[in-house]
A and B are shown apart, each in its own frame.
Chain A
């Protein structure tokens, strides 16, 4: 019986030792992480300077209607009469008719400002984030249309499905207090610059 007791205490001692070691290990991890953590969470965003407007954003988002939408940096826009983000490659006519439009959902509104300028605004409730207009504007225009994750819709998944499918690595984690990477323009050189450069 005494032997049995000895066995029991040895087992308890080992178990307590292991328990203490585990607690110390967890403490160690905490200490290590505390030395290099950040207070704000991170959110997903598209770097418009890397985005190639492939269209994956429209299809890969876990939401039925993608959290990615087109955003218009009006300050860069040329307010062209013939906008390559608005009109298809070979429009029948230069007017707002649905058959002339590039956008599959007609989410871009074209309004006359003054001769010869037209304003283009995005109706976010219609935009599906396919990036067709972005491609058109980048190829032939100023590149004022670009895709952004809209954070009123984004669920902020730990692994973003779009990021996993992004061919150019444009989907990146950004701190939540600076959740957008907007295109900005540097008028002195005529270049539009990434926000972190400007």
Chain B
């Protein structure tokens, strides 16, 4: 009976040997006679969780301080110092990851992928700047974001960008946001992180192409203020819209605008809007017709965008690993290409059926259809709303910063004569009390 048992064990042992060739002990571990003890591999720990929570607290403190400096203290110098701190702490010390811009992708992934539970710190990093913007405007962009800070440093010769170019280039940021959400939701890639131009500077190493891209942004940034923030940043797009309805916002003058025009050219980001004295009567009828045309055009743009997004699903779905692998394996199976890639070799080593892979890939590609049409529709909506917004007439009596575009850097404060009066009064009040 014992012998029978041994035979069974022997047979099952050899079966296991056949099935998992790579994970087998071809040579049994020796029994040492010299008293040698088998060491175990070391496992150095990752950065402790407590540091992540410290980062979240520092973010909260920096946002609060930034809001105070922008709205209450109104001091460019203090904002600049906080900006330096943020660049050093969130950039060079923390090495950039995870930042609120990239965290948006984790949030999207956790909504669409049930297996991915998002770490609490990432939730905090994503939400805190949004909440602060809803109350105080873009205080995050002003002095907390390390990507904004590094660009603000190199801004030496600000040149103005014409309005039409600014609006046109900004469309890219909306498209980038849409693509980031699409690829994060389908679990394909985190493109915001992959093409982050400045994080390689913070780490002092990285992909060569990305380093070149970052250098280009910095060179352009010498003349065009904060090009990444204005034309590319996908998180900035969300902050723009929230800043439009924020409870408090930056004002150039501390009390009343005397329309002296001194601040007119002070903004390197083109965010200061001139007063518009009266309605342009002679253009009224023409403008009305134009507005009606754009309102009718809006659904057409949405439909066209959606259609384009849907028809691009073969291209967009290639961002997903499984789709790329399936295409490659298909080419190899039908002998359209010679040789193999690491990925196709790895797939064949798993022993999975080719059909199963094709099935998975076509499921994923099918998801890209409706998702792509949503993305296209979103871009169409943005273009349509921009056109409508451009043809609306807004009445302004004072020089004021555009709530969406204002990055709250505080450069314009010094240009306002009323600000100098305020500072003088404050100084006198202090000296009187002493």
Contact = CB atoms under 8 A, between A and B. Distances in A.
Interface residues of A, number: 74
A146 to B, nearest CB: 9
Contact of B41 (A71, A168, A176): A71
A31 to B, nearest CB: 11
B221 to A, nearest CB: 22
B156 interface: no
A75 B118 contact: no
A67 B39 CA distance: 22
- Chain B interface size band reads 35 or more
Contact of A40 (B36, B49, B95, B110): B49
Contact of B27 (A19, A141, A161): A141
A100 interface: no
A182 B43 contact: yes
Given A113-B32, A176-B46, A140 B52 contact: no
B111 A39 contact: no
B134 interface: yes
A26 B16 CA distance: 53
A76 B127 contact: no
A30 interface: yes
B134 A19 contact: yes
A43 B119 CA distance: 10
Contact of A19 (B26, B203, B205, B245): B245
B107 A26 contact: no
Contact of A78 (B20, B28, B205, B345): B28
B25 A64 contact: no
B119 A23 contact: no
Contacts of A139: 22
B346 A156 contact: no
Contacts of A64: 205
Listed from nearest, the 7 A-B pairs whose CB atoms lie closest are: A78-B27, A168-B346, A167-B343, A167-B342, A152-B44, A159-B190, A151-B46
Given A114-B32, A167-B343, 6 more contacts: A19-B246, A52-B349, A143-B22, A156-B97, A158-B190, A167-B345
